[in-house]
Amino acid sequence: MVRDMSNAVKVKFLRSQGPYTVGEVASFAPDVAERLIHDEAAIKFKDEKPALRKRPIDENKQALAARETDYVTK
């Protein structure tokens, strides 16, 4: 049986079940994901967004280079 995975739900396992281990993330059809969540075997997984940097990377490199230069010249 082939399922339409266009609306798949990502879940993160809270306990080992079948071939999946604790902490593993997998995608399932909505009905299967809801059953896993209902059985408390998994929770719905939200994609983590990377934290924004306060300053661009180039400024950090320039500041580090300036500190190294000051250390060498003093």
The residue extents of the domains of the chain are 1-46
What is the rounded CA–CA span in Å between residue 45 and residue 33? 10
Q: Per CATH, is 1-46 categorized as 3.40.5? A: yes
Position 65 pLDDT exceeds 90: no
C-alpha 50, offset from chain centre: 9
| 3-8: average pLDDT | 76
| 22-42: average pLDDT | 93
3-state secondary structure of 12: strand
Identify the pLDDT of residue 43: 93
Identify the pLDDT of residue 17: 86
State phi, psi for 26 to the nearest 5 degrees: -145, 160
Identify the pLDDT of residue 47: 75
Identify the pLDDT of residue 34: 94
Whole-Å CA distances, 69 to 5, 15, 52, 57, 64: 55, 52, 28, 18, 9
